[in-house]
């Protein structure tokens, strides 16, 4: 009887394994949800919808975007972390929810290092430092010299506590060894309004947001924060070229899955996302960024480095959201 039970248990285990393997080989066999942890509009939403469209066509199954905003990117990301790790719930991840939040919140309902596995990073965009058009300091070195000579004499707008714009400004001040007077705003539009009116001196924002004002002559482009010049503004120097080294900042976005998602599902998603990037390249460029295909074996190290670097900067700057 014992041998019969052992044989039956072994057979059941074998059948279960075959079924699981079959299920993953047929992945996805039902709709896949991509959580976008912000409302409609913006880069997170753009990436989620472009990828959902491409993957639906390539994999013959619906990939459906669900916008789940709240507390910045916290609510949607936490919901994704609590989802079944079966490959049928994914989340758009970027600097905010996968690097900033752990340092900004003393109690965060998820751990980006433990609760998620990166599927692919697919998009990146740079930041630009813009100044009011009549700023007397024409070059970056002049701005740095004036700020060092009279700390707080130069004002910089921030788009809200914990935003990329604020943290990039903090990163610049640390790299350049200067202190600006920070003027908080609720988002980029009111910050640009005051910059164009000459009420503030500087603002850091995405190239896509800042460049139109530079091209129209309403603001002055100082430098880009990427490691190389932007094809959208080839005449604008990088920070290193303009005299501030050690400040190569790109914002990035990609797809993440709950930890313990089957490796077979992750591998299939990676293949299909990578295959979809050529057709997404033009769409990404129109949005002011670029398609990015970071190799799978570099994902973990890159994200860990971003997490560590931004956590250190945020804590040193004393920036908190609770």
- Between CA 180 and CA 123 the distance in angstroms is 30
Q: Which of 230-234, 291-295, 296-300 has the lowest mean pLDDT?
A: 230-234
**β-pairing verdict for 63-67 and 116-132:** unpaired
- Between CA 224 and CA 214 the distance in angstroms is 12
Q: Which of 13-17, 60-64, 127-131, 136-140 has the lowest mean pLDDT?
A: 13-17
Longest CA–CA separation in the chain, Å: 92
**For residue range 174-228, what is the model confidence (pLDDT) as tens digits?**
999 999 999 999 999 999 999 999 999 999 999 989 999 999 999 999 999 988 8
DSSP E strands in the chain: the ranges are: 32-36, 63-67, 89-94, 116-132, 155-158, 181-184, 202-206, 219-224, 250-258, 290-291
H helix or E strand, kind and range, residue 282? helix 263-286
Q: Which CATH fold would you assign to the domain 126-242?
A: D-Maltodextrin-Binding Protein; domain 2 (3.40.190)
- pLDDT category, 25, cuts 50, 70, 90? low
Q: Does the structure show a pLDDT above 80 at 2? A: no
Confidence at residue 23, expressed as pLDDT on a 0 to 100 scale? 44
Quick check: helix, strand or coil at residue 33? Answer: strand
Q: Does the structure show a pLDDT above 90 at 24? A: no
How many Cα atoms are found within 13 Å in the side-chain-facing hemisphere of 214?
24
CATH of 6-124+250-317, picked from 3.40.190.150, 3.30.70.1520, 3.40.50.300, 3.40.190.10, is 3.40.190.150
pLDDT, greater one: 232 or 57: 57
The mean pLDDT value of the chain amounts to 90
CB 320 within 8 A of CB 311: no
Q: What is the location of CATH 3.40.190.150 in the chain? A: 6-124+250-317
What percent of the chain has a predicted confidence (pLDDT) above 90? 79
Give φ, ψ of 190 to 5 degrees.
-65, -30
Contacts of 259 (CB under 8 A, 6+ apart): 85, 114, 115, 116, 117
- Between CA 9 and CA 59 the distance in angstroms is 35
163, two tokens: 């935003």
Contacts of 231 (CB under 8 A, 6+ apart): none
| Residue that is written with structure tokens 């903090």 in the block | 170
Q: What is the mean pLDDT of residues 46-52?
A: 96
**For residue range 67-114, what is the model confidence (pLDDT) as tens digits?**
999 988 999 999 999 999 999 999 999 999 999 999 999 999 999 999
The model carries a pTM of: 0.85
Q: What is the location of CATH 3.40.190.10 in the chain? A: 126-242
Confidence at residue 1, expressed as pLDDT on a 0 to 100 scale? 47
């Amino acid at each position: 009887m014992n041998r019969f039970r052992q044989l039956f248990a072994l057979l059941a285990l074998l059948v279960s394994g075959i079924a699981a393997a079959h299920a993953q080989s047929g992945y996805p066999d039902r709709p896949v949800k991509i959580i976008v942890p912000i409302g409609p509009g913006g880069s997170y939403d753009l990436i989620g919808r472009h990828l959902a469209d491409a993957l639906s066509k390539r994999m013959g199954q619906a990939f459906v975007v669900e916008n789940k905003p709240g507390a910045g990117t916290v609510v949607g990301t936490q919901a994704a972390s609590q989802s079944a790790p079966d490959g049928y719930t994914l989340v758009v991840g970027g600097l905010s929810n996968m690097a900033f939040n752990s340092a900004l919140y003393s109690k965060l309902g998820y751990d980006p290092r433990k609760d998620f596995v990166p599927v692919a990073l697919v998009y990146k965009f740079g930041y630009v430092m813009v100044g009011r058009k009549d700023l007397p300091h024409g070059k970056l070195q002049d701005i740095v010299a004036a700020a060092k000579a009279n700390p707080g004499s130069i004002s910089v707008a921030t788009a809200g506590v914990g935003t990329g714009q604020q943290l990039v400004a903090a990163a610049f001040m640390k790299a350049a060894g200067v202190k600006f007077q920070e003027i908080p705003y609720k988002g980029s539009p009111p910050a640009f309004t005051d910059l164009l009116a000459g009420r503030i001196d500087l603002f850091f924002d995405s190239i896509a947001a800042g460049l139109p004002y530079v091209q129209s002559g309403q603001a002055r482009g100082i430098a880009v924060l990427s490691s190389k010049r932007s094809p959208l503004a080839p005449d604008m120097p990088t920070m290193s070229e303009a005299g501030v080294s050690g400040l190569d900042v790109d914002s990035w976005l990609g797809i993440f899955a709950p930890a313990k998602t089957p490796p077979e599902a992750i591998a299939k998603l990676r293949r299909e996302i990578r295959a979809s990037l050529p057709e997404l390249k033009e769409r990404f460029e129109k949005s002011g960024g670029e398609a990015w295909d970071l190799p799978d074996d570099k994902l973990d190290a890159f994200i860990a480095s971003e997490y560590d670097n931004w956590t250190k900067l945020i804590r040193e700057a004393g920036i908190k959201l609770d």
